[in-house]
Amino acid sequence: MIPSEVNWILRVDGHTDPVPISTSRFGSNWELASARAISVVKFLIGQGVPPERLAAAGFAEYQPLDLRDDEIAYRRNRRIEFRLTQR
């Protein structure tokens, strides 16, 4: 439980692999990463997390966990991360 005096925010970070995307739905990896984060934020709101405690951020392919150029690395880099912090 987070103490009531802590002014916290949960940042939801969306990431992609380095393969460029350009579809009618997602014009770039930035848009895909942001959509991933927004989707999770909407889910959390539906689960009762106050919207004022949430933020969505898209990082595209620019913060990879795995620098290799193979499918396993791409799968590791397509992810959501949570950052609990204070405002």
Going by the DSSP 8-state scheme, the letter that residue 83 receives in this structure is E
Instruction: Give me the residue spans of the domains in the chain.
Output: 12-86
* Dihedral of the alpha carbons of 76, 8, 38, 20, in degrees to the nearest 10: -40
pTM of the model: 0.92
- pLDDT score at 73: 98
**pLDDT value of residue 4:** 86
CATH architecture of 12-86: 2-Layer Sandwich (3.30)
**Looking at residue 69, what is its pLDDT?**
96
* Ranges in the chain, pLDDT < 70: none
pLDDT of residue 80: 98
pLDDT at 87: 84
